[in-house]
Structure 1
Amino acid sequence: MKTLIRAAALATLFATAAAPAALAQAAPPAAESMFRATTLNLAAYGETEVVPDMATISLGVMTEGDTAQAAMQANATRMNAVLAALKRGGIAERDIQTSNLNLSPRYQYVENLPPKLIGYQASNQVTVTVHDLKRLGQAVDATVNAGANQVHGISFGLDDPTAAENAAREKAVRALAAKADLYARATGHRVVRLVTLSEGGGSYPVPPPMPIAAMASFRKESADTSVSAGELKVRVDVTGLYELGR
């Protein structure tokens, strides 16, 4: 009986060991051909420049009070004035979003004495999206005049980057194909086909925010202050695997 069990176990072992060899022999000819092919693995990028059509302003109100309630009430009063000014300037309510609300105690520090509570500080920060850049100067001027005392800057962008991204994609693919042709000619080959193509993501550089000092100057100008938005560069990176032949 033991002899029969050993024989069965050996037969199973041989069958398991033979399976990979059988699978290797059954590998598709296409996979084997691809494994032996001469290939190029390349990367390229496409970049397009576009004029921004929207801007984002980050601003806020900071107030102080002897009590937490007093600080918050003063903050709410001033922020309501800022929001009203924005709406009068043509900014829709959906384009105004609270991004930070904070209340913290204020202490007086004297050497060799414990900290002394002297009041509270409240801050409320909002992010404002301006879709009509002609209203940008007016919006900034209105918020500063209404009491915004924390202005962190302006950044520019695109409402819909799809067209700019697609233009960058086309440039990236053309650059990739040109690079493949160059390498093929340099090595005495020709491009047979593009095997794989992948997009490695892209970048959407935004100009640095306008400094606070520059924004404060809006108060000295008229409501239709001219703002230069410049251009944005939208970039898309791609990689591709090419098969070469003689």
Structure 2
Amino acid sequence: MDVEIFTHRNCTECNLLLDFLEQRGLLGKVKLIDTELYPFLAFERGVISTPSIFVNGKLIYAGKVDFQELETILSGGQVVRKVNREELVEKLMEGIVDSFAATAWLYVNRDFESFMAQRDFVLAVTGLALSENPEEEYQYLRNVVIKEGENLLQEWEPRILRNISSNFVREIYWLYGNKVGKERLFSIYTPEIFAHWLMVRGGSVGRVGLRIHPISDTKVMLRITKAYSYTVENYDQLWERVEREQRAIKSRDLARHLVL
């Protein structure tokens, strides 16, 4: 059995997964691929959320991982999930708001039809990848979200805004290392610069997948300005949370290296 796990060093879920696998003595059964070092390989495989786990070339998990299920799979057992159609839309949206690439792209472009073409990701985050009849359920889900897409984006907007703003602050943390004063930061990152950042970060590598909307597109800019305002208003709280998160990751990583 060939099990590949695409990770990122600053991904909390990835670090929790690695801790679990190490504690269970299962690290030797998987191949770890760092998306920071091999971005084009990740892009080629359709990875838009970490951790992403492939079993014999098939994407099984994206973002959230059921650790007990994975342990069963790595131990040679079989996992088959029962499908509840009433839960599929919520599972999909949970998977989307757990992925910054998916969140940013959908928030800016409002195009569920194109997004649902990421079939492997959809199957993984909804659990359909481990179901007996994924194709029928996928088509059902696709029809629902294409029809209800705008309503879903409005319903999930609070989670979407938190995702976008948290990831912006997280990247500022990585870029500067120390907290930048709010006034200085947002004099550098004007709404127009923030808009460019959000469009570029929305699921693109280079120009692949990139959609640039003109600043004169008032509908798009209205949405982006809302995300920008949310980020400005919550900057201090977001910074504190990101700082705690990143320190915890560094401490866990150091402890893992000391054990090894």
Larger Rg: 1
Give yes or no for TM over 0.5. Answer: no
- The two structures have a TM-score, normalised by structure 1, of 0.20
Greater helix proportion: 2
- The two structures have a TM-score, normalised by structure 2, of 0.19
* Larger RCO: 1 or 2 (CA < 8 Å, sep 6+): 1
